[in-house]
Amino acid sequence: MLPSSTVENYLKAIYVGEMHLADGQTLVPMGQLAGALGIAPGTATTMVKALFESGLVVYEPYNGVRLTAAGQKLAARVLRRHRLIELFLVQVIGMNWDEVHDDAEQMEHVVSDRFIERIDEMLGQPEVDPHGDPIPTADGRLPHRALETLLTCPLHTPVTVARVTDQDAAFLRFIESNNLKPGQTIEVEARDEVSDSVRLKGHNDERMTIGARAASKLLVTG
Amino acid sequence: MLPSSTVENYLKAIYVGEMHLADGQTLVPMGQLAGALGIAPGTATTMVKALFESGLVVYEPYNGVRLTAAGQKLAARVLRRHRLIELFLVQVIGMNWDEVHDDAEQMEHVVSDRFIERIDEMLGQPEVDPHGDPIPTADGRLPHRALETLLTCPLHTPVTVARVTDQDAAFLRFIESNNLKPGQTIEVEARDEVSDSVRLKGHNDERMTIGARAASKLLVTG
DNA sequence: CGTCACATTTTGATTATTCAAAATTACATC
DNA sequence: GATGTAATTTTGAATAATCAAAATGTGACG
């Protein structure tokens, strides 16, 4: 029985939910899952019980869910497809990075393995998508690089933007128009707790100040 | 209310069904529709009544269905998407023409207008898909070329294959391996009623004999 | 240890799509 | 005009996915 788009979305949401878990935690709370999928909590409970019956998740009532090995394999496959497709839409089709998410969201469930193989080849087996998010490998492994956010990286030191962890189109356009896309080199000049902001020196030594919330979504390498 | 994939498929099937109607006929019989969609006859009846309520089709019980202007517009849009995507998969992704149908069948319902605009542009606003099937224009018009089949074209006269009206993968592979794809020049040497076959002179003067049924699926221009 | 707030689950219902099989209708033929 | 076959419609039911709102469990805190 091949998984429906709905099942694939649940698995993907649990997969990324697990990655955002505070350490110590091993289960994704039902409320968080329902929130991520934009569905009513009761719906999530019903569906997760079905996923449990299929052996795709471990479900502890009132505590949360976690993927089994089988569930993880499927989830990684979907996330791989999503991220490859996003990169493909930007690189080959020429779409902007802020307009590819919805297409990828749909295509990930329907295109053939053949299609995915071909674009993976065309793109040269890429490791990250346009937002810098790592692309799971064909065998389901997710390459992990240790990155710092603009809130934690060293001051007055050139760093390279590696990843932007927010898919919101308006945010992405802001990042792009300020030359803060992955690959660009910047420097943190100061952080201010009180004003909740970070001052940056960017492209062409241009200065700008962004909020801490936004700064936390920009991941960099030294 | 935007149409579901299911509705789009019904409309598309009625649209192509209308094109295959014997002259005089204006309605697609329910049985034919159900057959084309691979669903039970009763299901077609139910759905067509719903399409009628939405104003997308004219439905005459026991006689058949036909698209309204609104239904035609939607159907042409879906068919346009399907054929553009097929060409895109062959031309850009590098898939074989016999393996693109299923992907196109799914993608046609989910990709954005932006995606379609971009590939239309990349492909240079093409008029036909890899099988030679005409691509409806963005405003819903279907360019129509008068073509003859290998059963009706003149004998001993060079003609160019323009269209192959069968999506079956095995048939398409046969056509390809015998150099009978759209664009190739061939000549009909003889037709034989009794043996129900057609003898051709193809690429490099290679001779071959194919059945009348197959010959009727190859459309050519003089 | 009782209570309150909040998260989670349960319940009852709805929508879309489908099927199989029974009932009905249309049409050609006798 | 009766009749039989084939197409079509009706009926009753199933599945997947969802919601709103009621019921229940959990954990924190006084």
The 10s digit of each residue's pLDDT in A128-143 is: 999 999 999 999 999 8
Rg (CA), chain B: 19
Chain A contact present for B119, CB below 8 A: yes
Domain boundaries, chain A: 5-67, 148-221
Residue B35's pLDDT is: 96
Question: What are the contacts of A206-211 at 24+ separation with CB within 8 A?
Answer: A206/A178, A206/A179, A208/A178, A210/A150
B7 CA to C17 C1' distance (Å):
11
Statement: the CB of B31 is under 7 Å from strand C:
no
Statement: the CB of A134 is under 7 Å from strand C:
no
DSSP B94: -
With bands split at pLDDT 50, 70 and 90, how would you rate the model's confidence at A110? very high
A45 pLDDT more than 90: yes
Residue A193's pLDDT is: 86
Averaged over A148-173, what is the pLDDT?
A: 91
Domains B5-67 and B148-221 share a fold: no
Statement: the CB of B25 is under 7 Å from strand C:
no
- Tens digit of each residue's pLDDT (9 = 90 or more) over B5-55: 999 999 999 999 999 988 888 999 999 999 999 999 999 999 999 999 999
- The C-alpha of B107 sits at a distance from chain A's nearest C-alpha, in angstroms, of 7
Residue A122's pLDDT is: 95
B161 near B218, Cβ under 8 Å?
yes
Test mutation, B108, B115, B116, chain A, max A CBs within 10 A: B115
What contacts A120, CB < 8 A, 6 or more positions away? A84, A126, A138
How many beta-carbon pairs below 8 A join chains A and B?
47
Nucleotide nearest to A49 (CA to C1'): C9
B206 pLDDT more than 90: no
Residue B190's pLDDT is: 87
B204 pLDDT more than 90: no
Nearest to A107 among B107, B114, B118 (CB): B107
For every residue of B116-164, DSSP letters joined together read HHHHHHHTTS-SB-TTSPBPPPTTS-------EETTTSPTTSEEEEEEE
Considering only CA atoms, name the residue closest to the C1' of nucleotide C24. Answer: B62
How far apart CA B71 and CA B146 sit, in angstroms, is 25
With CB atoms and an 8 Å threshold, state whether A95 touches B102: no
How far apart CA A148 and CA A126 sit, in angstroms, is 22
With bands split at pLDDT 50, 70 and 90, how would you rate the model's confidence at A117? very high
Nucleotide nearest to A63 (CA to C1'): C8
Residue B67's pLDDT is: 97
A127 pLDDT more than 90: yes
| Superfamily of structural domain A148-221 | Ferrous iron transport protein A (FeoA) (2.30.30.90)
Neighbours of B43 (CB within 10 A): 11
Residue A144's pLDDT is: 87
How far apart CA B26 and CA B147 sit, in angstroms, is 22
Residue B118: what residue type? Answer: R
With bands split at pLDDT 50, 70 and 90, how would you rate the model's confidence at B193? confident
- Tens digit of each residue's pLDDT (9 = 90 or more) over B125-183: 999 999 999 999 999 999 888 899 998 999 999 999 999 998 888 998 999 889 999 99
How far apart CA A124 and CA A108 sit, in angstroms, is 19
What contacts B159, CB < 8 A, 6 or more positions away? B148, B153, B185, B186, B187, B188, B220, B221, B222
Statement: the CB of A49 is under 7 Å from strand C:
yes
Considering only CA atoms, name the residue closest to the C1' of nucleotide C6. Answer: A31
Neighbours of B57 (CB within 10 A): 26
Chain A: residue nearest B119 by CA?
A93
Residue A168's pLDDT is: 87
The phi, psi pair for A206, rounded to 5°, reads -70, 135
Q: Residue B85 corresponds to which tokens in the numbers above?
A: 């995507």
Residue A25's pLDDT is: 87
What contacts B37, CB < 8 A, 6 or more positions away? B9, B10, B13, B44
How far apart CA B59 and CA B71 sit, in angstroms, is 12
Residue B6's pLDDT is: 97
DSSP B134: B
B95 three-state secondary structure: coil
Residues 47-76 of B with CB under 7 A from strand C: 47, 50, 62
The phi, psi pair for A25, rounded to 5°, reads -75, 140
H-helix or E-strand spanning residue A197: strand A197-201
- The C-alpha of A157 sits at a distance from chain B's nearest C-alpha, in angstroms, of 40
DSSP B136: P
B202 pLDDT more than 90: no
Please provide the CATH number assigned to the domain covering B5-67: 1.10.10.10
Nearest to B107 among A93, A95, A111 (CB): A111
DSSP B133: P
Averaged over B80-84, what is the pLDDT?
A: 97
A102 contact residues in B (CB cutoff 8 A): 112
B81 pLDDT more than 90: yes
With bands split at pLDDT 50, 70 and 90, how would you rate the model's confidence at A89? very high
Test mutation, B106, B109, B116, B123, chain A, max A CBs within 10 A: B106
Residue A89: what residue type? Answer: L
Averaged over A137-150, what is the pLDDT?
A: 91
Considering only CA atoms, name the residue closest to the C1' of nucleotide D24. Answer: A62
Residue A23's pLDDT is: 82
A119 contact residues in B (CB cutoff 8 A): 93
Q: How far is CA A40 from CA A36, A37, A105, A129, in A?
A: 11, 9, 20, 30
Sign of the alpha-carbon torsion through A172, A178, A179, A180: negative
As beta bridge partners, residue B155 has: none
How far apart CA B187 and CA A14 sit, in angstroms, is 61
A6 three-state secondary structure: helix
Residue B146's pLDDT is: 87
Chain B: residue nearest A121 by CA?
B93
Averaged over B88-108, what is the pLDDT?
A: 95
